[in-house]
A and B are shown apart, each in its own frame.
Chain A
């Protein structure tokens, strides 16, 4: 009897141990899972960002309104779902590009389709012969957070320049369906993972991404970023001459190649709680540097006179990420923000796509407009893929589109107007970095395209443009 009682106690002890253990195990995992996702900020937590389209280039008589979207949580959190936050802000503005700023309080409009907060620029400032410069301090009054836009503030404010003697070009309505044939196909690949193939991600129900960027050099070498296969391919004479592995995300990264063979890759991934990373790789694919850009997102990476430059958002400014000897911190990048892309001769090329069908371009030297163009079109114009100087001329590649058609329009411009003009098929079957479809190298324009079969790079010879 005692033996049975003892056995019974052992069995009961074991059974209750099992029960408690199972419950404890599940509870522990649940707690750990919660902990892993715990720390999640609630809706009332504060953050602030903004949207702003700077009026980089104005035309005579233009009324200028600065508009801002202030993005921050509503005062009541979830209970205020659907309602805007309690934003406010002050624009500090001045005529020209030096001297003290004067404050201009932002007003609040009923709608937010172009940004809820606005300030009309006084006409005396808007019509200043040197243009004007400004920055904004934006606030979330409910939570006390604020931000300065651009981040460089008074040290690197937004700049706007007047176009007084711009060369005007009226493109009329774009005629679709007659694109020019390329001079040569210099890269031709199929989708895949083998040598000479390029990777493709996505599918029927998700975004397709192919080789996301490329660059070309004066000797005709094409550097192709095959980020899905984590490698950089170098093509010459229609064949791969070198392929090196690089540790980059399989996203829509941008690339710029330096003359010494090193490449810069700007990541198209959403880096956790930080800004995108610009990596520098040696010619053999070895990672030699990595730095975060100043702002939350970017539109393009190019090689400037002193190193890589990145056009960043929300400021829309071009910022160098370093010079020959120093990698710039995020704050230092912001302090060097400029409205235009720096060119080798020390000038800047400022570009604004205005309204629905206008592109404004200005070459700015020592803070003043030296040359300017206004290109207007009856057909809506999309993104400016290329605005670059070659010799005394400017090459512009811009998208012309309707709701159902699209082609690129190429223009070679000089001081009198259009020197050359033709259309290029868009060939955008797979996604790439937003402004990595074209590269201009001297008188050669290269295009990265894709089809259901694979990707290619075509060359268009712009004879006699320099």
Chain B
């Protein structure tokens, strides 16, 4: 009887202690995300990119992040600003990198599909997108920017979901921790802090 009592006592104590410890170290990223490589694809259409980016809506914002599921819940809200905590969501440049199917190798302009749960941010911050750095990235005159082209400043980047009737744009963007990721109306097109950017190599 005593060995059984010892087993049960140790089991319960270990269950609680290890559970608490594991819960403390568990993040959305460590529990859900993977480090798979991007898969080459032949196509990259603007409307597919709209669909892909929209899956990130309501999944939150994570500074430095690039992994989210598709259940419309931010599972790691209220992170401190400009800190990576392993929470759910992309940041602005992580969302753009994955939506534009880019490679980690900045000299590679090909199309590489990343599953939502692939935890990758990519090598570009907003300023590098603004400057058209990397083989897949270019700049464009803002007046000509169309669906899923984008606007980038030194601190933020978003993509054009569709034009608005009064000269603003509906932008799909990972905007801020409190804002989350979604389609927001924005006036980046007319702001001199923002430059026009484009993915080179759309197939339709």
Residues of A bordering B, CB below 8 Å: 6, 9-26, 28-30, 33-34, 36-43, 45, 47, 49, 51-54, 56, 69-74, 78, 81-85, 110-116, 201-209, 249-252, 268-273, 296-300, 311, 313-314, 316, 351-353, 356, 359, 380-384, 387, 398-406, 426, 428, 434-435
Contacts and interface: CB of A to CB of B under 8 A. Distances in A.
Interface in B120-177: 125-126, 141-143, 146-147, 154-156, 161-168, 170, 175-176
Contacts of B22: 25-26, 29-30
Contacts of A42: 70
Contacts of B10: 13-18, 21
Interface in B1-24: 2-23
A462 B125 CA distance: 43
B143 to A, nearest CB: 4
Contacts of B13: 18, 21
A75 to B, nearest CB: 12
B190 A20 contact: no
A84 B47 CA distance: 6
B19 A14 contact: no
Contacts of A399: 167, 187, 190
B165 A10 contact: no
A13 B3 CA distance: 5
A52 B12 contact: no
Nearest to A250: B178
Interface in B70-98: 70-75, 81-82, 88, 91-92
Contacts of B82: 203-206
30 contacts: A11-B6, A14-B7, A22-B17, A23-B18, A25-B18, A29-B26, A37-B88, A40-B70, A43-B70, A51-B147, A53-B162, A56-B165, A74-B51, A83-B48, A85-B48, A113-B146, A206-B92, A207-B176, A249-B178, A251-B176, A313-B183, A353-B165, A381-B167, A384-B166, A399-B167, A401-B189, A401-B192, A434-B184, A434-B186, A435-B168
Given A17-B7, A81-B48, A29 B19 contact: yes
Output the residue of A53, A269, A272 with the most chain B CB within 10 A.
A272
A207 B155 contact: yes
Given A36-B75, A82-B48, A114-B146, A28 B166 contact: no
A428 B190 CA distance: 11
Given A28-B15, A434-B187, A356 B143 contact: yes
Closest 9 CB pairs of A and B: A382-B190, A21-B14, A51-B162, A17-B10, A25-B18, A13-B3, A353-B167, A82-B43, A270-B182
B42 interface: yes
B181 to A, nearest CB: 6
A206 B156 contact: yes
A426 B192 contact: yes
Output the residue of B28, B50, B142, B156 with the most chain A CB within 10 A.
B50
Contacts of B4: 13
Interface of B: 2-23, 26, 28, 31-32, 39, 41-48, 50-52, 54-55, 57-58, 63, 69-75, 81-82, 88, 91-92, 101, 111, 113, 115, 125-126, 141-143, 146-147, 154-156, 161-168, 170, 175-176, 178-187, 189-193, 195-196, 202-204
Contacts, number: 325
Contacts of A52: 162
Given A206-B82, A207-B156, A10 B6 contact: yes
A359 B63 CA distance: 38
B193 to A, nearest CB: 7
B194 to A, nearest CB: 9
Contact of B193 (A24, A269, A428): A428
Contacts of A41: 70-71
Output the residue of A12, A56, A111 with the most chain B CB within 10 A.
A111
Nearest to A382: B190
A40 B179 contact: no
Contacts of A25: 14-22
B167 A398 contact: yes
Nearest to A51: B162
Contacts of A22: 14-15, 17-18
Contact of A201 (B12, B41, B57, B176): B176
A37 B165 contact: no
Given A24-B15, A270-B182, A82 B176 contact: no
Contacts of A311: 166
Contacts of B46: 111-113
B54 A49 contact: yes
A19 to B, nearest CB: 8
A78 B91 contact: no
Contacts of B73: 272-273
A351 B167 CA distance: 10
A25 B141 CA distance: 56
A54 B42 CA distance: 33
A110 B204 CA distance: 6
A67 to B, nearest CB: 10
Given A206-B81, A268-B179, A353-B167, A82 B3 contact: no
